[in-house]
Chains A and B, each alone.
Chain A
């Protein structure tokens, strides 16, 4: 009787650990891969699909195994160990083969086949056991999956990263398993103990090795990593490099900030960029006889746009809404960044709010004369929603009647046709026009950053402003930021929350431009992979 009770407990626990660890591999791989390559929906769905297929195959294959406790234990040990190895395997795969989607699917499939065999094997062993019933087992298995995943998302991901979480789950499972086997006095064969030893020994050193492996190329290219952190929202990396003889600025020290592997600013070109996104709309407002006093910055946590605005007389307050506290912290404390933003975030006129811009803009009652929107390009859905008509509608409601909006609109040129603008700025222009604003695409000529200027004021004439502004401030404005009304527009759709065509458009552009300096995985990608 007592032995039977022990066996039931053992069976339930093994089954629960098995399905939890298997599910965990699936979640970790999906999260890691979709963050690394900015493809959320596609990757989650396909990964989950293959996991389910593998579960089915595992169920079928389990009929080949004799239902014995030692077989079940071996399966669960292998599965836990595989969980610990999964992220290391992926890092190695990305390093070795660059975009190895197949490896991710393989990782998930192995986990699925192992996990799929657990349930039928448990039922096979415990078939004479009246305490073991299908409903309860299903329930416990599902519960294990949710417990593992919730602990991962809310507890482990930020402090440990994907790799650390994989190891934590692996060692927790193995520890629980061994404790239970010893506690119930289950007798195991020698080969199973050897298996457990190997399962314990492999994951940790291999993870360290894979992490080191994927970070090597950065040093080889002479770039120094000044700061690297996985925040809750993105991987933030600050690098320092000295321009080589073949670069535009040989011998000049250059600092660059990357978010999830995409360049956010580079000290060599950021002045042009921020002049266009911050100073040009201010000049437009002055030309329009309604100089801006109250300014809102959405995104722009690096503080560089705020720096430009603080230098303009007449601006009274700047509210800044940034999602990621880690970004603001960096801009406030890192000596290099504080040098670039001239400590703008400590200025009493600047009011920093850590909020999701979409939620905040729907809640606030303030109105602004100038709203500067500086989000990363809409390369995934979480970003593309911040370029949607619904969002712009709320932004326009917070804009004074003669106010202006400037929007970071990604790369300017179409890759095939230099006389045609890219789909991203064209889509943004069309989207904001759909909610009743007048909008124009403009850009920095040299490195082709694009922006969209928008207003609700029907009396403002972009043509007249562009002509006039050449003499404003004694400096050629149109020489810095150019506006081309006759550039060809590609066919584009309005970006609404229900469709978000911009995400696909941006991905298409970046994938085709890979290696041209916009997307850095191909050169020294290891640094930019999620932790």
Chain B
């Protein structure tokens, strides 16, 4: 949910046309989640390992998404294309989560609980995003913070699954560093790419 909003609003910031960007990002994200859900059905073996792998990759993608988009935009590259690629990548990963979690335990109550908490998470994310997360953190720090959350999950699942441990740890380290240096990175990029001096 927060990723969806992050990508849609950053695309609006950089590329304009908000109704267009929101419709495109939200619907494409839904479609990718659908594909993810379908793919996850065929991964019956060792769901824990898959969850760890997906969380790791999600964290990495989230970590580089915003700086990469800004760079591409500054250089006149296909930023709109990258937005779509990121949406498809993240959507597929996110869509695989629920069916995989569902495979961990086979009963209807568990599924109902997952769905309910998924919706609840969506609600909290959607409310916090404009009211608190975005205004107080800004895009660079927010993306890094979300990446960190994913990285923590990645490490936890990797430990349980006894695989992907090193990859998850390295990713967590990268995410933590990018959170610490998010603002310096933003100011440095603004200054070198556009010559903006004295930013806050």
Q: Which residues of A contact B (CB under 8 A)?
A: 23, 27, 30-31, 34-35, 40-42, 44-50, 52-53, 55-56, 59-60, 116, 120, 133-136, 138-143, 145-146, 148-150, 152-153, 157, 233, 356, 358, 362-363, 380-382, 385-386, 389-390, 393, 434-436, 493-494, 496-500, 504
Contact = CB atoms under 8 A, between A and B. Distances in A.
A49 B199 contact: no
A153 B23 contact: yes
Given A50-B126, A53-B119, A139-B34, A59 B112 contact: yes
Interface string B6-35: 001100111011111011101110110111
Nearest to B37: A138
The interface residues of chain B, by DSSP majority, are classed as helix
Given A146-B31, A153-B19, A41 B130 contact: yes
Given A42-B130, A390-B196, A48 B26 contact: yes
B198 A40 contact: no
A137 to B, nearest CB: 9
Contacts of B111: 134
A497 B134 CA distance: 13
Contacts of A380: 18
A55 B119 contact: yes
B3 interface: no
Contacts of A500: 13
A362 B5 contact: no
Contact of B190 (A44, A133, A389): A389
A48 B5 CA distance: 9
A34 B19 CA distance: 8
23 contacts: A23-B30, A34-B19, A41-B130, A45-B129, A46-B130, A48-B1, A49-B1, A49-B126, A49-B129, A52-B120, A53-B120, A56-B118, A138-B38, A138-B99, A142-B33, A149-B27, A381-B16, A382-B18, A390-B196, A393-B196, A434-B197, A435-B195, A498-B138
A82 B198 CA distance: 52
B68 interface: no
A362 B74 CA distance: 9
Nearest to A153: B23
Interface residues of B, number: 66
Given A146-B28, A385-B14, A497-B13, A35 B130 contact: no
Contacts of B73: 497
A504 to B, nearest CB: 8
Secondary structure of the A side of the interface? helix
Contact of B126 (A45, A140, A150): A45
Contacts of B135: 504
Given A30-B22, A34-B19, 14 more contacts: A31-B19, A34-B18, A42-B131, A44-B9, A45-B129, A52-B120, A52-B126, A139-B34, A145-B27, A153-B24, A390-B190, A435-B196, A435-B197, A498-B186
Given A41-B9, A135-B41, A494-B196, A31 B23 contact: yes
Contacts of B72: none
Contact of B115 (A35, A59, A152): A59
A139 B197 CA distance: 48
Sorted nearest first, the 9 A-B pairs with minimum C-beta distance are A49-B126, A142-B34, A56-B119, A52-B122, A149-B27, A53-B123, A135-B41, A146-B27, A40-B18
B41 to A, nearest CB: 4
Contacts of A48: 1, 4-5, 26, 122, 126
Nearest to A145: B30
A204 B173 CA distance: 58
A271 to B, nearest CB: 31
Interface of B: 1, 4-5, 8-9, 12-14, 16-20, 22-24, 26-28, 30-31, 33-35, 37-38, 40-41, 70, 73-74, 76, 95, 99, 102, 111-112, 115-116, 118-120, 122-127, 129-131, 134-135, 138-140, 186, 190, 193-200
A385 B74 contact: no
Given A48-B5, A135-B99, A496 B190 contact: yes
A225 B130 CA distance: 36
A233 B40 CA distance: 40
B87 to A, nearest CB: 11
Nearest to B38: A139
Contact of A139 (B4, B37, B129, B194): B37
Contacts of B190: 389-390, 496, 498
A44 B13 contact: no
A390 B125 CA distance: 30
Contact of B1 (A52, A135, A385): A52
A146 to B, nearest CB: 4
Given A149-B26, A493-B200, A494-B196, A41 B34 contact: no
B122 to A, nearest CB: 3
Contacts of A52: 1, 119-120, 122-123, 126
A55 B126 CA distance: 14
B114 to A, nearest CB: 11
Contact of B194 (A27, A49, A233, A389): A389
B197 A45 contact: no
A529 B112 CA distance: 41
A157 B111 CA distance: 37
Nearest to B112: A59
A183 to B, nearest CB: 26
Nearest to A44: B22
Given A146-B30, A362-B76, A390 B5 contact: no
Given A135-B37, A385-B13, A45 B5 contact: yes
Contacts of A499: 138
B138 A390 contact: no
B123 A358 contact: no
A389 B199 CA distance: 10
A136 B13 CA distance: 35
A143 B8 contact: no
Contact of A40 (B14, B22, B74): B22
B194 A143 contact: no
Nearest to A116: B119
A50 B125 CA distance: 10
A149 to B, nearest CB: 4
A142 B197 CA distance: 45
A45 B127 contact: yes
B31 A434 contact: no
Contacts of B28: 146
A138 B198 CA distance: 49
A358 B95 CA distance: 35
Q: Which of B9, B27, B130, B134 has the most chain A CB within a 10 Å cutoff?
A: B27
Contacts of A381: 9, 12-13, 16, 18
